[in-house]
Structure 1
């Protein structure tokens, strides 16, 4: 009787299962739970050093401040990107250049910015009170 080794018995053909347990990132609540658990389960004859405890609290404080700063920055970016009038208002008082219907380069100072249907338009302080879209502007200078 012969025993034959088939290819389905090779180790490289074995299906490996990856076990996942929840989220892979730790938040400030997780940090506090770990710290409280450490304090509850420490050896009463050999308690945690004061400097170790202070260092962990400093790390927690830094983590909380970075989390709050990240949240504030994301809120600011979302609000500033959502408002086209804020983007348009940055050009008020700036000198812009554009091409007229004949292809001649013109320059003027932006006097107002307006939004209609989420499109920004700019009124130029020239004799024709030219109205430009953002796509029409070639150059911006102060």
Structure 2
């Protein structure tokens, strides 16, 4: 007696979730089905076909543009340089560190300098100051608007 392969049972078939969004692949499949199933005695009008192809082209361009914008947004979120670039030109105050130990000097002294650049080191933003010091963002105690006249 022959057996039926269980992978053919309906309950063992992969189910895909229905989507309310039509993408370029679905649009192209729909267009191809329309062309294949058109009445040979009354084919699709050239203008209608060109209109549908233009719609398809526009859809594809919008999807590509959306992907590019999403990539740009993701890159800006991750970059600490972009995240802290607004500090350039501002004055920051920070605790003076002991150069040997890297600990805050006792008694605590606060230094102030203008931010001239932002760089990245091991995924963290490094604030480069006018007085040739470099500090991390978590060392900042106060931010001023910069040169006050």
TM-score, structure 1 length as denominator? Answer: 0.63
Q: Which has the higher contact order (CA 8 A, sep 6+)?
A: 2
1:46 aligns with 2:46: no
Q: Distance in 2 between matches of 1:56 and 1:31?
A: 9
Q: Report the counterpart of residue 143 of structure 2 in structure 1.
A: 138
Q: Report the counterpart of residue 81 of structure 2 in structure 1.
A: 85
Q: Distance in 1 between matches of 2:146 and 2:69?
A: 28
* Equivalence map 1:117-136=2 (5 Å): 118-126=123-131, 129=133, 131=135, 133=137, 136=140
Q: Report the counterpart of residue 59 of structure 1 in structure 2.
A: 55
Q: Which runs of 5+ in 1 are unaligned?
A: 1-19
Write out per-residue CA displacement over residues 54-105 of structure 1, whole angstroms, 9 at most, x where no aligned residue: 11000000000011111111112212221213434x357x321345679x9x
Q: Distance in 1 between matches of 2:121 and 2:17?
A: 50
> SS where residue 125 of structure 2 aligns?
strand
Q: Report the counterpart of residue 69 of structure 1 in structure 2.
A: 65
Q: Decide whether aligned partners of structure 1 residues 130 and 29 sit closer, same or farther in structure 2, where only a CA change above 3 A counts.
A: closer
Aligned length: 119
1:112 aligns with 2:117: yes
Q: Report the counterpart of residue 13 of structure 1 in structure 2.
A: none
8 Å CA contact 1:84, 1:120 repeated in 2:
yes
Question: Cα RMSD between the aligned structures?
Answer: 3.4
